[in-house]
Amino acid sequence: GDLTLSGCCCLCAIPGLGSVLAAEENVDFRIHVENQTRARDDVSRKQLRLYQLYSRTSGKHIQVLGRRISARGEDGDKYAQLLVETDTFGSQVRIKGKETEFYLCMNRKGKLVGKPDGTSKECVFIEKVLENNYTALMSAKYSGWYVGFTKKGRPRKGPKTRENQQDVHFMKRYPKGQAELQKPFKYTTVTKRSRRIRPTHPG
């Protein structure tokens, strides 16, 4: 019988202590999680990239014009330059207009709007890379609703979008003259790739 006793937690013998410990543990755990989340935001787990999103249907780039969103921006247009914040824990992104500092968001009616504060889940999108190498942006809050534009560059309502529609297909492009500045963000630069290929294919 000694063996079973020695294996038992001696704290169990003190009445009520178990539940007190459990409660304290929960509080500590919650603080720990909050601290971790805060640390995660501060550390460079978030990556900021600057690029444009070229719309397959309008043939122009997404613009964040304050509260209004369109896809009529020319290459290099200041409103088409987007700061895209990516969390390395997944494919979730927040997209902010560099010029206006408004975030691209989708409200509960499925309408694309610009908001000055991007903390809401309405301003988080899930980036999907499609087979045709285009990117689609699905709302993190309203699953199945995508960022989409008509041929005239007008935003489509979320409920009317589907992943296979050209309206929701975008291509990432660096603004004119910005490609050089982007190098620290890129995991594989062209120079690295060609260097790797050279030894295996002489000449």
For the chain, the farthest-separated pair of C-alpha atoms sits apart, in whole angstroms, at: 82
pLDDT at 7: 47
Residue 183: pLDDT band by 50, 70, 90 thresholds? very low
Q: Identify the three-state secondary structure at position 25.
A: helix
In angstroms, rounded to a whole number, what is the distance separating the alpha carbons of residues 97 and 83? 6
pLDDT, mean of residues 144-156: 98
Cα separations in angstroms, 57 against 15, 126, 151, 169, 173: 69, 20, 5, 8, 15
pLDDT in tens, 36-68: 555 544 454 678 999 999 999 999 999 999 999
- Provide the b/e sequence for 181-193 (b: ≥16 CB within 10 Å): eeeeeeeeeeeee
Which structure tokens are listed for 103? 């975030």
Which structure tokens are listed for 40? 């995660």
Please name the residues in contact with 166: beta carbons below 8 A apart, sequence gap of 6 or more.
Answer: 56, 57
pLDDT at 194: 45
Task: List the one residue out of 179, 189, 169 whose CA is nearest residue 51.
Answer: 179
CATH of region 46-179, choose from 1.25.40.10, 3.20.20.20, 2.80.10.50, 1.10.1020.10: 2.80.10.50
Residue 185: pLDDT band by 50, 70, 90 thresholds? very low
Task: List the one residue out of 167, 153, 122 whose CA is nearest residue 140.
Answer: 122
pLDDT in tens, 89-98: 668 999 999 9
